[in-house]
Amino acid sequence: MGKKVLIAGALTALGFVICYPVIYLISGSFMGNGELGEGLSPILKNGGGFVAWHVIPLFPTLKNFVELLLDSPEFFVMFWNSVKITAGVLAGQLILGAPAAWGFAKYRFPGRKLLFGLYVLLMILPFQVMMLSQYLVLDELHLLNTHLGIILPAVFSTFPVFIMVRFFDGVPDQILESAKIDGAGAFQIFWSIGLPLGAGGIISALVLSFLEYWNLVEQPLTFLKDPALWPLSLYLPNIDLNDAGIAFTSSVVTLIPAVLVFFCGQEYLEQGIVASAVKE
Amino acid sequence: MKRFRIRRGQRAGILFVLPSLLGVAWFLLLPFLDVVARSFLGAVNGEWVGISNYQTIFSNEAFRLAAGNTVKFAVVCIPLLIVISLLISVGLTHFGRKLGFLKSAFLLPMAIPVASVALIWRLLFHSQGIVNGLMEQLGGNPVDWMNSPAAFWVLVLTYLWKNVGYDVILWMAGLSAIPYSIYEAAEVDGAGSWKCFTKITLPNLKPTLYTITVLSFLNSFKVFREAYLVGGAYPHDSMYLMQHLFNNWYRDLSMDKMAAAAVVVAVVIFLVMLCFQRIWARED
């Protein structure tokens, strides 16, 4: 019994340590500039000693939130950029990816195996491999330095298709057969049987995509020259620590949508992770 | 008649796939083939230069540094991640629902935007940051984390922190697929918990190990985000990764080197995947 308590204790401690950075972030966002400046003085002024941090702020204040929300127009621009890019990618993946996944899962057309293999291959290539090719396409289409240039290649990412195929595979063929006998067309079957029964897979894919594209760094860094177009993920790290209050508060505000999606969609996230397993 | 209808019915699948396929071809596949072709062409005049671009990058010192770091990173991180996440998931499975909230705790870093992480990391790993403050209190010597070879280990830690939840989920799915009756039978035969673990749990997890290795390998290419946001475009040598090099070449418009290196990375990834597949296929 003692051993069991020990294991539970160790696991809980580890879980706590893993979440601790988030606690830092949240506590920092409620600190005034005075307290932050004092705590961070070893970094800011190159003074002696080490960063001192009170997890519960000595003088909690909402001043930073107020300042960020009322008095930082550039923050809103970046926030809106992030929303635009993420929403565009998710919508595109849903509209083009879901039918493609349905086609791969439920039809045996000539060349299916080859094409699906191609999708898997393209899925595993990291950005560094695709960077130059994406530049060439975007240059040709005059999409460099535009949001569309970030959104379009991401829409055709093959990973969400792969996840959705996994789930559509589980839709029983008998239902489709009987719908066909009742005279339903191919699109009607997809729309009124495939989509509702595969909804879990679609949501899983979208949750994974959201976490990925809300967090986008490499693509905007490479293809967006104009800082006014940058998403939050590029803007945040460039905030001077002298503005620590704003840095912390904007980090927390960036965090909120991701954490909301995480907690609302955790079940789907877990299913999506399991489905991402490459078994072939 | 019936046969014909089935075949025609199956062809409708192409219509579902087609819109996505056109985009994939246009935005991913054809440009990549273009890059493969360019890797054999000169940068300035576009003339055929054979493998000279490849010779250039392999004798390029930055390329060797980046490739070495990237390989070292994968070799250190992946086994560590696999073992740690296995231990956690075996522990969590023992407690069932009671520690369910911990699963969320391990998974949470996946949702934390890298940019927010970067801010915290600056406080934690600054030479006068929180970690060094703690170390001094405990009687250790402060380390200049970001400007010494220790930077590599900060990156390793970041990768583990970020990915442990992902792998825990995969392991737990694998564990839950092992029928409980096997354990009961073993217990009747008097097997202890260590014996159960090595003789039942581990062998049954082999397929899961394959998927986890593959996915951890692919996720290890994403660590550049953290490296860039924490260390900037020119971090300490020990965490200079492939993506940093690509970014620098991109800035210099060295298309020929980028093309050759992209092909090399792609080929290496395929070879590694093929190796994994072979190893597992032989064991089955």
Phi, psi of B41 (to 5 degrees): -115, 155
Over chain A (280 residues), what is each successive 10-residue block's mean pLDDT? 82 90 86 79 71 76 82 87 96 96 92 91 89 93 95 95 92 89 89 92 93 92 92 82 82 90 91 76
Domains annotated on chain B, with CATH: 62-283 (1.10.3720.10)
CA–CA distance, B223 with B211 (Å, rounded to integer): 19
CA–CA distance, A251 with A244 (Å, rounded to integer): 10
Question: Which tokens belong to A97?
Answer: 């990816």
Q: In chain A, list all ranges with CATH 1.10.3720.10.
A: 72-275
State yes or no: pLDDT of B3 exceeds 60. Answer: no
Q: For tokens 């985000």, name the residue.
A: B225
> What type of residue sits at position A82?
S
- Which of B92, B112, B277, B280 best probes binding to A when mutated, by most A CB atoms within 10 angstroms? B112
ipTM exceeds 0.85, yes or no: yes
The pLDDT confidence band at residue B283, using thresholds 50, 70 and 90, is: low
State yes or no: pLDDT of B4 exceeds 70. Answer: no
3-state secondary structure of A278: coil
Over residues B188-204, the pLDDT tens digits come to 888 888 888 888 888 88
Other residues' Cβ atoms within 10 Å of the Cβ of residue A271: 23
Say which CATH class A72-275 falls into: mainly alpha
User: What is the structure's pLDDT at B125?
Assistant: 86
Nearest to B165 by CA among B101, B82, B106: B106
CA–CA distance, B267 with B39 (Å, rounded to integer): 13
Give B84's contacts in chain A (Cβ within 8 Å): none
User: What is the structure's pLDDT at B267?
Assistant: 94
> What type of residue sits at position A204?
S
Phi, psi of A56 (to 5 degrees): -100, 115
The model's pTM: 0.89
d(CA B152, nearest CA chain A) in Å? 19
Which alpha helices (DSSP H) does chain A contain, by range? 2-29, 33-39, 41-44, 63-71, 73-92, 98-106, 112-124, 127-140, 147-155, 159-168, 173-181, 186-189, 195-197, 199-213, 218-223, 232-235, 244-264, 266-275
> Hey, is the C-beta of A236 within 8 angstroms of any chain B C-beta?
yes
Query: What percentage of residues in chain B have a pLDDT greater than 90?
Result: 37
Q: Report the range out of A87-101, B80-94, B117-131 with the highest average pLDDT.
A: A87-101
Q: Which chain A residue shows the shortest CA-CA distance from B281?
A: A280
Question: Which tokens belong to B192?
Answer: 């202890």
CA–CA distance, A206 with A89 (Å, rounded to integer): 10
Other residues' Cβ atoms within 10 Å of the Cβ of residue B14: 16
Name which residue leads in pLDDT, B135 or A89. A89
Do residue A254 and residue B115 have CB atoms under 8 angstroms apart? yes
Over residues B51-86, the pLDDT tens digits come to 888 999 999 999 999 999 999 999 999 999 999 999
Nearest to A270 among B95, B169, B266 (CB): B169
Give the distance, in angstroms, between the CA of residue A110 and the centroid of all CA atoms in the same chain. 35
User: What is the structure's pLDDT at A47?
Assistant: 64
CA–CA distance, A76 with A73 (Å, rounded to integer): 5
User: What is the structure's pLDDT at A86?
Assistant: 97
User: What is the structure's pLDDT at B194?
Assistant: 84
d(CA B250, nearest CA chain A) in Å? 8
Do residue A158 and residue B35 have CB atoms under 8 angstroms apart? no
Give B117's contacts in chain A (Cβ within 8 Å): 21
Question: Please, what is the angle between helix A266-275 and helix B150-176, to 10°?
Answer: 90
Question: Which tokens belong to B169?
Answer: 């989920």
Q: Which chain B residue shows the shortest CA-CA distance from A156?
A: B24
User: What is the structure's pLDDT at B47?
Assistant: 83
User: What is the structure's pLDDT at A142?
Assistant: 95
Q: Are B88 and B164 in contact (CB under 8 A)?
A: yes
Name which residue leads in pLDDT, B138 or A153. A153
Once rounded to an integer, what is the mean pLDDT over residues B266-276? 91
The pLDDT confidence band at residue B1, using thresholds 50, 70 and 90, is: very low
Nearest to B243 among A128, A233, A252 (CB): A128
Gyration radius from chain A CA atoms: 24
User: What is the structure's pLDDT at A99?
Assistant: 96
d(CA A273, nearest CA chain B) in Å? 7
B239 Cβ neighbours under 8 A, 6+ residues apart = B69, B151, B152, B154, B155, B227, B231
What secondary structure does DSSP assign to chain B, as a single string? -HHHHHHHHHHHHHHHHHHHHHHHIIIIIHHHHHHHHHTTB-TTT--B-TTHHHHHHHT-HHHHHHHHHHHHHHHHHHHHHHHHHHHHHHHHHHHGGGGHHHHHHHHGGGGS-HHHHHHHHHHHHSTTSHHHHHHHHTT-----GGGSTHHHHHHHHHHHHHHHHHHHHHHHHHHHTS-HHHHHHHHHTT--HHHHIIIIIHHHTHHHHHHHHHHHHHHGGGGHHHHHHHH-SS--GGG--HHHHHHHHHHTT-HHHHHHHHHHHHHHHHHHHHHHHHHHHHH-
Q: Are B54 and B260 in contact (CB under 8 A)?
A: yes
Among A74-83, B107-116, B128-137, which stretch is predicted with the lowest mean pLDDT? B128-137
